[in-house]
Homo-oligomer: A and B are copies of this chain.
């Protein structure tokens, strides 16, 4: 019933603290890079993933702002918001618009400028993604949510305090070769063990840094893609979204990321694929514990064994299921509403064979998954090299 959808353009700016660049400039650079990558193709619709602009910059209606600043005047545009899965939401909307035949060429751009918020206020500001009336007002911020889940996890599975160390270690190792990553340096287990605890038992290296950034992808139908594109096409073979209760206290089993399970299963079903056929997985490691819980909820590891999977080496670039091949949220950086589109850009690079020193061998199918909060919203896409 639906048309085939391919990604023909990708663009990104380095993730970091862009004191000198405005939100509109960051977005325009990613948009221009994606258009250039797609041979100049102009989208008819722009869907914007963003979380903090209304609170941090007093700026809403980014659709009108960004089209006007990127040479896309007049086209349909609006913002999609789903906490830190906003970028993936914009990608899903662009996919639906093309697959349905409404739009021939759609662009999804994710953009975030979190450095506009003073560091001391950033965690409180980001707490808008919790159930504010019941969680944040009682002091439960996103980091505190993750700490509670980590504490429960370590207790439930009698795991040592450094059980999750391999996730940030791996992310930082992969980021070394990514020129767009925020932290391009490795660290060792000893550094993890000595890292400052920021919300017990969670330490500084368990948390992805909020950051500035922008990334964009262009989607169209294969019959509309120019025949002379320099890059191979990447097909979007699945797109799915699921929701869990926003507040942790409304869940019966907080260590069960139910929406991850549903969203991943739906995506695999849509693509007609088994888990074993996924060659790499860009997962949402906003906190180390979320990486473990996501792997388990998808079915890549039995419950309680996500850490062992990481420790086995299976998730490294030369392992059975490479994850976060360009550094993930932890080391590439986590520009909240833009993150889902960085994941998409990085997966496309792998499937095109543009992974450089981090190229995953014979990468044919990539799963990318964004979480809004503690898997309150989960959006999963599967991409395949044509």
**A residues whose Cβ falls under 8 Å from a Cβ of B:** 1-2, 22, 51, 54-55, 57-65, 67-68, 73-83, 85-86, 89, 93, 96-97, 99-102, 127-129, 131-133, 136, 240-247, 250, 258-259, 262, 372-373, 376-377
Contacts and interface: CB of A to CB of B under 8 A. Distances in A.
Contact of A1 (B58, B101, B245): B101
Nearest to A100: B100
Contacts of A86: 78
Contact of A243 (B59, B75, B102): B75
B68 A245 contact: yes
Contact of A96 (B61, B81, B97): B97
A76 B132 contact: no
A195 to B, nearest CB: 29
When all copies of this chain in the complex are counted, the total is 2
Nearest to A99: B100
A77 to B, nearest CB: 5
Contacts of A376: 61, 64
A99 B244 CA distance: 26
Nearest to A82: B78
- Most chain B CB within a 10 A radius of its CB, from A76, A83, A241, A242: A76
Contact of A58 (B78, B80, B136): B136
- Most chain B CB within a 10 A radius of its CB, from A77, A100, A129: A100
Nearest to A62: B81
Contacts of A242: 74-76
Contacts of A79: 80-82
Contacts of A93: 93
A243 B55 CA distance: 23
Contacts of A62: 81
B247 A129 contact: no
A28 to B, nearest CB: 14
Contacts of A80: 78-81
19 contacts: A54-B81, A57-B132, A58-B127, A58-B136, A60-B81, A61-B372, A63-B243, A64-B83, A68-B246, A68-B250, A74-B243, A74-B258, A76-B240, A77-B377, A79-B82, A80-B80, A96-B97, A96-B102, A100-B101
Given A82-B61, A99-B100, A131-B65, A74 B262 contact: yes
A373 B101 contact: no
A9 B377 CA distance: 26
A54 B96 contact: no
Contact of A102 (B59, B64, B74, B100): B100
B57 A54 contact: no
A100 B2 contact: yes
Given A60-B129, A68-B245, 14 more contacts: A2-B101, A22-B133, A55-B58, A61-B83, A61-B128, A63-B377, A64-B245, A67-B243, A68-B250, A74-B242, A76-B242, A77-B241, A78-B89, A80-B80
